[in-house]
A and B are shown apart, each in its own frame.
Chain A
Amino acid sequence: NAGVMQNPRHLVRRRGQEARLRCSPMKGHSHVYWYRQLPEEGLKFMVYLQKENIIDESGMPKERFSAEFPKEGPSILRIQQVVRGDSAAYFCASSPGTELREKLFFGSGTQLSVL
């Protein structure tokens, strides 16, 4: 059973370009979360999605950031007009639901570097 798959592992963008980060949840998981990690910091929650629905985007910056989880295909985190401060590791996690004891599994992350 494959784990949470994220690609690319590393992404380099120049200021002003767009970054698209992809996440395929574990098989059977319909809940996807995106977290951001700055150097020497813990992970910060960004957005929680179920298929075709954004459930909680309280951690997402209001501008330039968007996320989707279509009926078919991976979840996408999109950052438009990137700036240097967007440089971070972006982690996706999935779970089968939100009941107690249903665990959250993380992918290996995408390291975004903005030049």
Chain B
Amino acid sequence: GQQLNQSPQSMFIQEGEDVSMNCTSSSIFNTWLWYKQDPGEGPVLLIALYKAGELTSNGRLTAQFGITRKDSFLNISASIPSDVGIYFCAGLDPESNSNSGYALNFGKGTSLLVTP
């Protein structure tokens, strides 16, 4: 599968600050997903993006599907301690087998630490 590059690798911020992270790929994707993973748990879907240019919000989270279809960003406003975790982007490769369902490509994650 295609490699997704996430940055930054980690972030250490104070409660109340805004956070921005992004994900890039050398090839296009037709679906971008953002997940959060808590320690010892599986990823939980935060936001799904299906169309280039799409901007979607979920509470304090906002994500956009880049126009080039090769990138996406996730913003978290007014961070709180429970935002701590690892944030993964994932993409669905349009070149993959049409029968491959959700054979997602994941980035390596952005680790977020929030201090009170």
Contact = CB atoms under 8 A, between A and B. Distances in A.
Nearest to B41: A108
Given A42-B109, A91-B42, A106-B43, A48 B88 contact: no
Interface residues of A, number: 29
A109 B41 contact: yes
A56 B99 CA distance: 7
Interface of B, helix, strand, loop or mixed by DSSP:
loop
Interface string A97-115: 0101101111111010000
Interface in A62-115: 91, 93, 95, 98, 100-101, 103-109, 111
Contacts of A100: 31, 50
B52 to A, nearest CB: 14
Contacts of A40: 108-109
B114 interface: no
The bracket for how many chain B residues form the interface is 20 to 34
Nearest to B104: A45
A40 B39 CA distance: 11
B58 interface: no
A31 interface: yes
Contacts of B100: 48, 55-56, 58
B101 A106 contact: no
A55 B45 CA distance: 23
Interface in A1-16: 4
5 contacts: A42-B109, A55-B99, A91-B42, A101-B48, A106-B44
